[in-house]
Amino acid sequence: MKNGSTIYIFIGPPGSGKGTLAQECVRELDWVALSTGALCRQHISQQTEIGKQIDLIIKSGKLISDVLVTSMVDEWLSKQVGKVRGIILDGYPRTEQQVMLLFDLLHTKYPDVHLRVVKFDISDDIVVNRLSGRLMCQNKECQAVYSTVPGAGLAPKKVNVCDRCSGTLMSRVDDKPEVIRDRLIVYHQHDPSRLFEQMGQSVEIIDANKPFNEILSDFIQLIERA
Ligand code: AMP
């Protein structure tokens, strides 16, 4: 492993389990993960300048500017690369322009870092079903994700209470059915995996239609195949 760190890019629609898997890797493997969506929500709740700028965009399920999100990722990566073994980018890059900006950033600042791109394949119907039962901890420092969907194995121990920090669990404003459909359209329009392949970067596939514990064991096998 070059430079000590591997960056895993998680590509997949909302509800594909990538955020839950990222949280699990942070807890169990001592990796670090950046969810650009969670970072955006933190800016909004703290009413920063960026937060005020992006509030309405997030509520509508549209994407924020490529340059803005890349500068957030750049700042965060500068504190992580070389210090931890596994670094997950969850939900970035999400457009072809972001792929180009990320390649520039890695080429300029971290030419030796090992990059693996993991795509979570899942049907739109399963996404809609999963997100309709998704709950998120309202503590912005936590944002742990749970599910009330039977069989998902992600229910909180106490109804609407976060297992980790005792925060209140609620649905996300952008998990309303009509916004979910828009977010899926946006995801399919911008899916960056083809561009990664065109640029010679292989894309590894996880079957995300499966229950979470199977996704987890498939991912463990994937990382061992390094
Ligand atoms: P997520 O939590 O990943 O579903 O992201 C929630 C929202 O944050 C998205 O619908 C976008 O508005 C915004 N967002 C997160 N990541 C990105 C990104 N890479 N590019 C543009 N917008 C993003």
The minimum-distance atom of ligand 1 relative to the CA of 57 is: 12
So what's the pLDDT on residue 202?
95
Residues 186/63, Cβ–Cβ less than 8 Å: yes
Q: What residue owns the CA closest to ligand 1's atom 8?
A: 37
Question: Which residues sit with their C-beta closer than 6 Å to ligand 1?
Answer: 14, 35-37, 40, 57-58, 61-64, 69, 91-92, 94, 98, 174, 183
pTM over 0.75: yes
- Tokens 């300048």 correspond to 49
Domain ranges of the chain: 6-122+191-224
Which of 63, 136, 173 should be mutated for ligand 1, with most atoms under 8 A from CB? Answer: 63
Q: Note whether 80 and 66 are within 8 A (CB).
A: no
The secondary structure of residue 4, as a DSSP letter, is: G
Answer whether 13's CB lies under 8 Å from 127's CB.
Answer: yes
- Token pair of 10, please? 């998680």
- Ligand 1, closest atom to CA 38? 2
pLDDT along the chain (226 residues), means of 10: 80 92 95 95 92 93 95 94 95 94 96 95 92 93 90 89 97 89 91 92 96 94 90
Residue 140: what pLDDT? Answer: 87
What per-residue confidence (pLDDT) applies to 76?
Answer: 95
Alpha helices in 110-190 (DSSP H): 124-132, 177-190
What is the CATH number assigned to the segment(s) 6-122+191-224?
Answer: 3.40.50.300
Dist CA 73 CA 79 (whole Å): 10
Atom of ligand 1 nearest to the CA of 73: 19
Atom of ligand 1 nearest to the CA of 61: 10
